[in-house]
Structure formats: C-alpha cells, structure tokens
Amino acid sequence: MLAFVGGSLSAARTSTLAKTTRRRFRGRRNRNIARDGPATDGPAHGTAARRRVTIVAKVVTPTLRRVEIDGHPVPLDEPHRLALLPHGHFTVLQVRAGRARGLRWHLARLNEANQELYGEPLDGELVRHRIRQALYATETAAAGSEATATAATTLDATVRIVVTEQPDGAGVRVIVAIGEPATMPTTPQRLRSVPYLRPFAHLKHLGTFAQIQHGRLVRRDGYDDALLTAPGGLVAEGAMTNIGFFDGNMIVWPDAPALRGVTMTLLEQAPADGGPPSVRAPVRLADLAGRGRLRHQLTRDRARPAIDGHLFAGSEWLMTTLTRRYDAVPWDPNGS
C-alpha cells in the first residue's frame, strides 16, 4: 500500500535532495505549489519554490471467504490458527480476474523473509499453486460446488499468504486466506505522527500489535492513520502504508527503517513517462511545515490531506501521473 501527502521543502533542502538523486530514479504524480504563489501544473524548476505533495492510500480490510493451510481448507466459523500465530511473515496482494500486479515481487518478499527467518528458500511455484487452488475453490464454492482442482479462475479477491514454521520445526506451512477485493479510499487522508518504528521493519512480519494500536489510538482522535517516526522526527512509513513526498521536482521516499512495499517498488521501477523521478532521502517532520493552500486531491475532493494538523496541497497533475503510471503496470497473467 502507498501513501502520499502535500507539504513543502526549503530551497536548501531541495538542493540537498537534488544531490542525492543519483541513487535511483523512477516516477510518480505531481503538481506544484509555489511557496508564496499560486499552484502550477507540471514539475517545478529552480530552488526558490517550496513544495510537497502526499496522498495516502489504504486498503479496506476485506471479509474472509476461505482459508487454507498447506492446501487444506479451514472452516471459517471456528477459531482458526491464524489468530494464534506468534511468529511468521506474510504478503497481501490484490487479484483481479485471476491476475495480480507485481506477483514476482510478492514471491520475492516471501522467499527473502523465509530465508532470513527460517534459513531456507520458499518455493515460488508452491506458493502460486496454493494461491490458484484457494482461488479456484473459492470461486467454485460460490457457484455451488466444492473443488480441489487448480484450473484458471476469473475471481476478484484479496489474497493474504502467511508463512510460519511447522510445529515440529521441520519446514514451514503456507496459509492462504481469500477475502473480498479491497478498495482504495475516496477521500484524502489525515495522519498523526507517533514515535515508533516497527522492529525488523524491512520484513512484513506478524508482529503488528504496536502499529495497529497506534492506528486505533489516532483514529479515536479523528485521524485516518498513524505515521511512524524515529527519534528526531525522522519519517519512516505509515502504520500500514509506505509514504512518499513531492518536493516540486522529484518523489522523495523517506530513507529510514521501513518496509519496501510492492506498490512503491512498481512505481519506482516504472518506465520513464515524463513524470517526476524518485529518490531516497531523510525526511523529517520539521521539513513538512504546512505551507500552501489546498488545491485538489485525486478525488477532486475539497477535503485536505494533513499530517499533525498541517494541511497539505493536493495535486491533480501528480495524482493523475502516478495513477497512470501504476495502471500501466501489467497484471501478471500467471497470478492465479
């Protein structure tokens, strides 16, 4: 999942970021809000302007339709073992008509985490087989019959793959949970910063209590989600998202302990399309002092994206560019 927010950077900060750019360029959407002037579409030039945009995208939690452990279905009306797992790693992907975007990155994430946690690779073909089986069984069950075959499916779904160690320590078990397809929010999001970093942040692991609790606490106060930060106000990631910023010329991804999300990876590696490139650099809350008026968000809604009460300018041009770039990523025909 992915998040963006609008803010601004000083001229000196923009210059510093430009020097860091040589690391990695790819793109995302944008528009510009001059420090003391009107908004202008397109990338900015020069260092006199201060700009930044952020958009937050969070997937709605889907209702489970099927759970399988090592290919065997688990009744949904009994407390299944997913709730009792203390250790493991996972990934979540969206499937449309049996296909998935960035499937190879999800498989790579599972394989790398498995080697780090359990000392052995995870067979990508086995994972694909488990996904196909669970999707096909879900689809045929909805049609009134149960199936164990792995024929092609046209199902739309949210697929969660959880990997944990077998109780006897001999290998791992693969759990596939099928849920309803998830949707993105239709309004700009408001974040509150919290002083917390996920342990082993580079892994998508099951130790999610703290980030979920931080999210619950900020939602009680009217925010949409938590923004995780390190000492000194170093921005890391959203509680359930990556976050990126636009400085007027390029997309800035916080250089801090965080999970490298698949959506973020797909956008970073998308071919050049005239949109802004990407760079990794430290981002601090002090860099995000709200300057500039509200313009437009992706939904053209007049609500304001914000961090800690600082309102940020949305950018129709940026969001259109990023949406087009993401939509151009092909759906993996072997994702089901």
Instruction: Confirm or reject CATH 3.30.470.10 for domain 64-179, answering yes or no.
Output: yes
Among 178-182, 238-242, 303-307, 321-325, where is mean pLDDT lowest?
A: 303-307
pLDDT score of 27 more than 50: no
pLDDT at 333: 66
pTM equals 0.75
DSSP state of 287: G
pLDDT at 62: 60
pLDDT score of 177 more than 60: yes
Residue among 302, 333, 335 nearest 316 (CA): 302
pLDDT at 287: 84
Is 236 within 8 Å of 214 (Cβ atoms)?
Answer: no
pLDDT at 295: 27
pLDDT at 152: 64
The share of the chain scoring above pLDDT 90, in percent, equals 41
For residue 266, give the H/E element and its range. Answer: helix 262-268
Q: pLDDT (tens digit, 9 = 90+) per residue, 218-274?
A: 999 999 999 999 999 999 999 998 998 888 888 889 999 999 999 999 988 866 667
Q: Give the CA radius of gyration of the chain.
A: 21
Q: What's the chain's average pLDDT?
A: 76
pLDDT-derived band at 34, boundaries 50, 70, 90: very low
pLDDT at 294: 24
pLDDT at 142: 72
CA-to-CA distance for 285 and 180, rounded, in angstroms? 36
pLDDT at 14: 32
pLDDT at 334: 55
pLDDT at 112: 98
Among 143-147, 171-175, 185-189, where is mean pLDDT lowest?
A: 143-147
Strands 310-311 and 64-69: unpaired
Is 285 within 8 Å of 191 (Cβ atoms)?
Answer: no
Q: pLDDT (tens digit, 9 = 90+) per residue, 142-153?
A: 776 555 555 567
For residue 165, give the H/E element and its range. Answer: strand 157-165
In the chain, where the domains are located: 2-58+184-330, 64-179
Q: Is 51 helix (H, G, I), strand (E, B) or coil?
A: coil
Higher pLDDT, 82 or 313: 313
Mean pLDDT of 285-301: 45
Among 70-84, 178-192, 259-273, where is mean pLDDT lowest?
A: 70-84
Domain 2-58+184-330 fold = D-amino Acid Aminotransferase; Chain A, domain 2 (3.20.10)
pLDDT score of 52 more than 80: no
Strand partners, 254: 281
pLDDT at 310: 81
Is 174 within 8 Å of 89 (Cβ atoms)?
Answer: no
pLDDT score of 172 more than 90: yes
Q: Is 115 helix (H, G, I), strand (E, B) or coil?
A: helix
Helices (H) and strands (E) in the chain, counts: 6, 18
Distance of CA 27 to the CA centre of its chain: 16
144 φ, ψ (degrees, to nearest 5): 105, 10
